[in-house]
Structure 1
């Protein structure tokens, strides 16, 4: 048994609640004594203890308790092999495989051979390397994380059950804008700003230099960043996250078990001890999951325990609906982000209708008349329904009001914008540059299954008359190419064979470059769910409309998070001469890229692939061809082995005119980089003015060595990290007691009951799976002239868009207040409650139900 240890250190969360850590005012605080009394042997009921606490209403746990549960889950090599094969088939659609393996000069992340890595994992399965399901799953997750592609992500199995997190938030800032940033407790930064004192930065974490420790955490756990600067910024809490109701990687989304204790020493000598935490992510009632075997049945095989009570409530008690919260439909919208951002955002001059964290409004505008600048804040393009129109209306209103005020300079603030609705990128660009049609070219990887889909769907579409209702259903389908333009000729492709090439680049095969035919009203309506971006079609021309601002008087402000649709917007703006400035980054001088996230053109999903395979049999495709595609089960999906909530890949690369290298792998430094400072990191008015000064007035305010990269022969800097992060399977260090030979892995298949959940949209005829509700949805009927029809479908209830099936849009509907469970053998440190939201994944169109 590990000896009890008495540590005279304060509980970090308790102190954060009482006040700031490095306050200059002496504060007398009691010393919390941590006494470890756990048994040195893992308990067979580790998972059951957590579920018991969940059923008592608790959602947060100590990380070691969650880890104890995860490592008690047994491993089945046959199931794992089927899962690896499923992943391999889906990965063939990942457009960047060759370039991740052999990146061009200037790429800032280590190379990785994804397919070879997957084969290595399969070899590990067959040779007995993995001792439990957790080891297998995190090895696969680590491989996917190492691609640094935010469109390539997997939520599946037991790793979906928990998220690890620190019990406090951190923020990085420079003291004066020139010295290298240091890391602070976020509560200190906010409190010191309000009380006019200087906080003390963190010196060490777990006896390691804070910068070195956090660099390792960022390299291992940050998601989808194309360089270390973007990875670093993901660790920190900042106002752009606050207004979206999101958390940083550090205090919300650590993927790989971080350990037990977290000891912090700040430069003024004060030290604090606390513990890593884990959030139980499953909101549904599961019945009794007593053993690791029960966890395997539910999270890996998707089976409920035999003793599951069907009369149990939809949500488990930890995710019970917060009845005291005002329902979203009645929640008053706000006209300012100030309160939710702890005073960081000022009151806006322009705001989108419904501006609120739990509403749909996200656009706000600010007029800085003292520096002749206006700020358009676009923290996300994640809009649905009428909010899409309201977003564009707010942008137009901002432009008209700024020009009427004779303001000539504009900052478009894209901090924390990780993408969303593609239509809004095209629409926003056109409102600033009505006389230009953006290029927006893309291409995909050429391989057998993709060609089979493309040939089948394109040939079927080519035989549909334009007045047939099916025409609108298929015109914008991902595998119909003759409705899209050949970028080289400006004309529609004549066949899939013309499009598919193949072109050989970097030891792989690719298609030709395609462009959306945005001048087609029918194509736009189908692609953008009925919304038509202004200025592209003859029905909505922008002829004669002047530019509201000169390109040289516009600057895009980013922070490395910009991804997907945001990356598309940045590409369109910079191609016409707009400047970029980026904030933050690792504590080093030199440049930083404006777009630090995914720069791909299309996200595709495993479920979307299954749908397209399923529909092939309805498209007059020869039986011989159908015999070459993966087989589907009775529900119409490939056998994944492991229950998979969502698996996304990057289907198409962004490609520039007369180029072959994906934009994802080009080094694109911002025109200027600035550090966040203690004065501006939680003061947006100051940050925006600093961005204006550095961009337009005084280039010397940029970080040393960060300028002069655009349109020059200056080589890209050497990567900050040249080797990939490594995963140590001895995860228990320094807590060896978590690993033992006496694990009870009972409760396997013999104790399983009915299927738990499919996570997909199904008919309500036979009832809905756990995690789904029968709801009325509006779809276009294939057999009624394409007219909208209200039908009942089982719709998955999820916690965000990333957890929804392909072809659906998440709606934030139901609030849940989560609290921590105190281990009876420890004094609870984590006292804060958190509100999370669930809601339905509503179908966008008839596509995945038609036929």
Structure 2
């Protein structure tokens, strides 16, 4: 079975790893593209320098074959949306074409490549086309540098008209606030929308992708406040098309438009790997194993967010302060504010559900709600902007603290699971085993009894279903088991003015909410009739509250470790 050889590809497939060239010799020992890159002053690196090195990496047909077989196996045997991606009709405001990811990967396998970089970019583009925030493909070789543009953009509505404007300018904010009329010679607004729609793979909603492309606020847990991220149009991990973006700007007080070249600032993303040639780049970057100490392989690099210097904020960015609100309590994923001029309103910002242990953060939510109630708050605003998900258990706790269960099944989201022979093999060994994710039937609820499964029958006795023209085996409908909150907490929260009262709760999202956050939003709006507001996108167009369904994010190494731990492979 293919999984026996997956170890060979740990160095090529997985989450984004970052590497850089430092302390290279002053005189190049090799005058190839990577040698030139390594010996250039970091302050003067260009997109072309990096792209030339990437393109110079030789194509290895043996490694490519193993990599492609591995990726094909992952999507054939483990990816839960392989059949769902064939859906030709997405409900509005989602827009997508049906994607047969297996056929596209097979087409790549029939293509004659000479460029390793192009081979991997084609796989990446195939997976990005799924528009699924849970599915990504990045390679050790090609995450060594990040690219940050001089200008970050946003799209405010001014006097009833939505305009693309400069949000920040790293060169003393010279062009901050200027209207962007053209990008690379084309009208700016349709250019930006097309770029976000065609390049980004985060959501089926093009307006959610637009929000991701533009500058946005994010909560910085390390700083204890909101900060600004320039957006993925201005911050990239793959070499852009050219060394600069050409903007045509119209600035206040100017008699005519001005052309500005937004140069890309090239930033190494790690500081401890050296190379001085294509050969050493391949050896020290492409094939360099990196472990986070857990035995689970490569460590993901966080999304690039500008880090303020000790002397002040990131150039061109305003520190986000809220003089009209008092911060009253903060956990690792949750912050509570009390509005000063509207003291009947409290704000619960949940910027991440990816917090463990979940019961500890759940206690933070409980204490925060208690604190708001003690201040005579009657109305609650829940802000999910930029929250891309995390643990289902924490999602269930939040919902239950606002709308306590009437039955244990109230916060369970029903679904079925595609069943394959490798999954059955893992499930056979995985019942009540540790760290087996969805391969352990004891973690799933038998909806007929409302209790966890007592055996492996949900996987051993699947049913055949046809979805979008493709037949496959599926489990019966089930749900991930989540515990109910303690009765002692129910007794306290049931006295709060917003508990079980949708009229006193509002939800804010920006369409990027996904996974566990999407599940929370679904329960609050669809099951409990809470009104939700979505911020951003295109004025006058509908927008989704959340972007992608709940599922687990598993790296290739996670699946390997599961099978090894269960004794399913050597």
Q: TM-score, normalised on structure 2? A: 0.78
Q: Which residue of 2 aligns with 1:580?
A: 532
Partner of residue 373 from structure 2, selected from 391, 403, 408: 403
Structure 2 vs 1, CA of residues 364 and 272 (structure 1 numbering), >3 Å: closer, same or farther? same
Within the candidate set 147, 168, 189, 2:130 is matched to: 147
Task: Give the Å deviation of 1:160.
Answer: 2.0
Residues 373 and 544 (structure 1), Cα distance of their counterparts in 2 relative to 1, 3 Å cut: closer
Q: Secondary structure at the match of 1:66?
A: helix
| SS of residue matched to 1:154 | coil
* Match for residue 158 of structure 1 among 141, 166, 182: 141
- Tell me how far 1:114 sits from its aligned partner: 0.4
Task: Work out whether 1:433 is the aligned partner of 2:403.
Answer: yes
Which residue of structure 2 aligns with residue 170 of structure 1? 153
Are 1:606 and 2:567 counterparts? no
Determine the C-alpha separation between the residues in 1 that align with 2:289 and 2:353. Answer: 36
Closer, same or farther in 2 for the Cα pair 1:278/1:510, shift >3 Å? farther
Q: Of the candidates 510, 523, 526, which is equivalent to residue 474 of structure 2? A: 510
Matched with 1:546 is 494
> Alpha carbons of 1:381 and 1:351: their partners in 2 closer, same or farther (altered >3 Å)?
farther
Q: C-alpha displacement at 1:100, in angstroms?
A: 0.8
- Report if the CA contact (8 A) 2:391-2:516 is conserved: yes
CA distance in 2, matches of 1:404, 1:544: 12
Cα-to-partner distance string for 1:813-836 (whole Å, 9 max, x where unaligned):
xxxxxxxxxxxxxxxxxxxxxxxx
Identify the residue that residue 699 of structure 1 maps to in structure 2.
none
The reply on whether 1:123 has 2:101 as its aligned counterpart is no
Q: Deviations over 1:376-405 (max 9, x none)?
A: 2222234346xx666444433432343344
Cα distance, 1:545 vs structure 2: 4.7
1:256/1:509 Cα in 2 relative to 1: closer, same or farther (>3 Å)? farther
Shift of 1:505: 3.7
1:506-541 Cα offsets, whole Å, 9 max, x none, are 12332222223334xxxxxxxxxxxxxxx5357x66
Distance 1:376 1:426 in 2: 16
Distance between the aligned counterparts of 2:237 and 2:414, measured in 1?
A: 35
Which residue of structure 1 aligns with residue 445 of structure 2?
485
Cα distance in 2 for residues equivalent to 1:497 and 1:212:
52
Question: Which residue number corresponds to residue 67 of structure 1?
Answer: 51
- Partner of 1:412: helix, strand, or coil? strand
| SS of the residue 1:302 aligns to | coil
Matched, 1:449 2:422: yes
Q: What is the 5 A alignment of 1:363-402?
A: 363-367=335-339, 369-370=341-342, 372-384=344-356, 391-402=361-372
Distance 1:65 1:94 in 2: 36
Cα distance in structure 2, aligned partners of 1:401 and 1:273: 50
**What is the CA distance between 1:570 and its match in structure 2?**
0.9
The question of whether the paired residues in 1 share the 8 Å contact of 2:55 and 2:115 is answered with yes
Higher RCO structure, 1 or 2 (CA under 8 Å, sep 6+): 1
**Structure-2 separation of matches of 1:380 and 1:543:** 26
Mark the runs of 5 or more structure 1 residues left unpaired by the alignment. Answer: 1-42, 305-321, 327-338, 355-359, 462-472, 520-534, 618-625, 633-851
Q: How far has the Cα of 1:582 moved from its partner?
A: 0.1
Matched, 1:98 2:49: no
Contact 1:375 1:410 in 2 (8 A): yes
Structure 2 residue matching 1:342: 3-state secondary structure: coil
Please, which of 153, 165, 170 is the counterpart of residue 184 of structure 1? 165
Q: Deviations over 1:572-610 (max 9, x none)?
A: 212211111101113x523111112x2123222211210
Residues 102-117 of structure 1 mapped to structure 2, 5 A cutoff: 102-106=87-91, 107-117=94-104
- Normalised TM-score (structure 1): 0.54
Alignment CA distance shift 1:184-1:408 (3 Å):
same
Match of 2:383 in 1: 413
Check 1:511–1:214 CA distance in 2 against 1; reply closer, same or farther (3 A cut). same
Match of 1:648 in 2: none
Once the two structures are superposed, residues 129-157 of structure 1 have per-residue CA deviations (whole angstroms, 9 ceiling, x without a partner) of x2211111111111111111111112323
Q: Report what 1:697 is aligned to.
A: none
C-alpha deviation, 1:455, in angstroms: 1.8
- The structure with the larger Rg is 1
Distance 1:204 1:554 in 2: 41
Q: Which residue of 1 aligns with 2:293?
A: none
Partner of 2:523: helix, strand, or coil? helix
Q: Structure 1's 345 and 237: CA in aligned 2 closer, same or farther, altered over 3 A?
A: farther
- Provide structure 2 residue ranges, at least 5 long, that are not aligned to the other structure: 1-29, 221-225, 252-256, 291-306
Provide the residue aligned with 1:294 in structure 2.
280
Change (3 A) 1:362 1:490: closer
Equivalent pair of 2:215/2:228 in contact (CA under 8 Å): no
C-alpha separation between the residues in 1 aligned to 2:206 and 2:343? 33
| Among 172, 193, 203, the residue aligned to 1:215 | 193
Note if 1:571 corresponds to 2:558: no
**Is the CA contact 1:373–1:411 (under 8 Å) kept in the aligned structure 2?**
yes
Question: Superposition RMSD on alpha carbons, in Å?
Answer: 3.3
In the alignment, structure 1 residue 536 sits paired with structure 2 residue 536: no
SS in 2 for 1:417: coil
- Quote the Cα distance in structure 1 between the aligned partners of 2:368 and 2:502: 17
1:417, distance to aligned residue in structure 2 (A): 1.1
SS of the residue 1:266 aligns to: strand
Quickly say closer, same or farther: Cα 1:362–1:485, change in 2 above 3 A: closer
1:352 aligns with 2:322: no
- Per-residue deviation, 1:48: 1.9
* Structure 1 residues 199 and 482, CA gap change in structure 2 (3 angstroms): closer
1:408-807, aligned counterparts within 5 Å?
Answer: 408-436=378-406, 437-458=410-431, 461=432, 474=434, 477-499=437-459, 501-506=462-467, 507=470, 508-519=472-483, 535-536=484-485, 542=490, 545-546=493-494, 548=496, 549=498, 550-574=501-525, 575-586=527-538, 588-596=539-547, 598-617=548-567
Question: Helix, strand or coil for the counterpart of 1:293?
Answer: helix
Match of 2:10 in 1: none
CA distance in 2, matches of 1:341, 1:486: 51
Query: What is the DSSP-based 3-state SS (H/G/I as helix, E as strand, rest coil) of the residue aligned with 2:546?
Result: coil
8 Å contact kept, 2:395–2:520: yes
| Per-residue CA distance 1:414-435 (angstroms, 9 max, x = gap) | 1111123443222222221224
